[in-house]
Copies of this chain bind each other. A is one copy, B any other.
């Protein structure tokens, strides 16, 4: 496995951390809740506690390996930080998440912040709408 990411981040290479990183890498949804990761660990037969999942994810976030998103407010989702920054569109019906990056918006944000006397460090932009995926309205949010 890729233990180098962990080492580079100054984190000890432990089984829970490797497994969680692995799940994040192999997931096709790219956006997982702590609960979802926990369930996957259990399904793989790993004896890893939910508290550890939260702890590890928080450390990963601090190390810049993942970022934490509050797409719906109640439960945070985590995604692997692979390079570029991006924002998200969430479907209100099926919960599907798409990513986008828009240079114009990024620049306007800098400009607006400067006009208000702020130096921007981060931002969260989430669009909520209805997707046109034909399988959407029937599929409940995962």
Task: Give the B-binding residues of A (Cβ under 8 A).
Answer: 70, 73, 76, 89, 91-92, 98, 100, 102, 104-105, 108-109, 112-113, 115-133
Copies in the complex: 2
Q: Which of B113, B118, B127 touches A120 (beta carbons < 8 Å)?
A: B127
Q: Which of B98, B124, B128, B129 touches A126 (beta carbons < 8 Å)?
A: B124
What would 11 A/B residue contacts be, using CB atoms closer than 8 Å?
A: A89-B113, A98-B118, A100-B112, A102-B112, A105-B109, A118-B127, A118-B129, A119-B132, A123-B126, A124-B124, A124-B126
Q: Which residue of chain B lies nearest to A103 when distances are taken between CB atoms in the complex?
A: B108
A122 to chain B, nearest CB (A): 4
Alpha-carbon distance A6/B36, docked complex (angstroms)? 41
Contact indicator B121/A124 (Cβ below 8 Å): no
A71 to chain B, nearest CB (A): 9
Chain B residues whose C-beta falls within 8 Å of the C-beta of A122 in the assembled complex? 127-129
A128 to chain B, nearest CB (A): 4
Q: Which residue of chain B lies nearest to A128 when distances are taken between CB atoms in the complex?
A: B122
Of all A-B residue pairs in the complex, the 5 with the closest CB atoms, nearest first, are A118-B129, A120-B129, A117-B132, A122-B128, A123-B127
